[in-house]
Amino acid sequence: MSKYTFFYIFIAIVSGVSLQLNWISNASISTTINSTEIIFRIMLAPIPVWILMKFVDYIIYTIVKNNHSIEKAHFKDLYRKGYILFLVPILGMFGIKIPSGSTIIILIFILWVIWSFYRSSNISDKKEFFISTNYIVILFFFSGFSGLIYQIVWQRMLFTFFGVNIESVTTIVILFMLGIGIGSLVGGWTIAGFISKDKAILTNFGLQIPLFVIGIYKIIF
């Protein structure tokens, strides 16, 4: 049995039960909850949290497995401490509520994992840690994921104001495909050497960082 097994069990029980108690306290204000459902939820609460932690472990270990520049044992011991953030929902049992708590926990956990990567890297690799072009793949993933979220949000907003019709759907699809087309065109020019790669990346960051800050501000406040 791994030395972290009891740590995982403790995190799963405390976090899962806390989340369910917070949900029950909020739901009971507007609806009546059966006592059987309450017991069922509390008993099964740790299971989703346990599955989530093991899934995150699998994804991260898959990434780290073939990376020879990282001290794997040190990395595992370091990044697993980030699961302590999963205990934050227990504050709700004491009446302390954090706006958009789940989003904040996820963002801090991602930053902790990145910091663990950096701390576990060999000294010679730390200088190039934040300038590696391998991160472009990760940036494309999050950029595409954000684009899909924007598409859904815009579509719901148009449906609210104009109703569900072909014009609303067509407008959103056209704008979404236009963005993909422009990104593909600029990416092609960058690869072909017509545009400096550094300038393209910096311009992209310069445009998206203000949007990111605004989005986080709106989510929290």
**Would you give per-residue pLDDT tens digits along the chain (221 residues)?**
566 788 888 888 888 888 888 777 777 666 777 778 788 888 888 888 888 888 888 888 887 777 777 787 888 888 888 888 888 877 776 767 766 667 778 778 888 887 887 778 775 555 555 555 555 666 666 777 777 777 777 777 777 777 777 777 788 888 888 878 887 777 777 666 666 666 666 666 666 677 667 766 666 65
Residue ranges making up the domain that contains 151: 133-220
In contact, 100 and 220? CB cutoff 8 Å: yes
Beta bridge partners of 121: 70
Same domain assignment for residues 120 and 157: no
Q: Report pTM.
A: 0.58
Same domain assignment for residues 138 and 125: no
Query: Last residue of some domain: 129, 158, 185?
Result: 129
Same domain assignment for residues 113 and 181: no
Same domain assignment for residues 31 and 140: no
CA atoms within 13 A on the CB side of 162: 13
Same domain assignment for residues 51 and 148: no
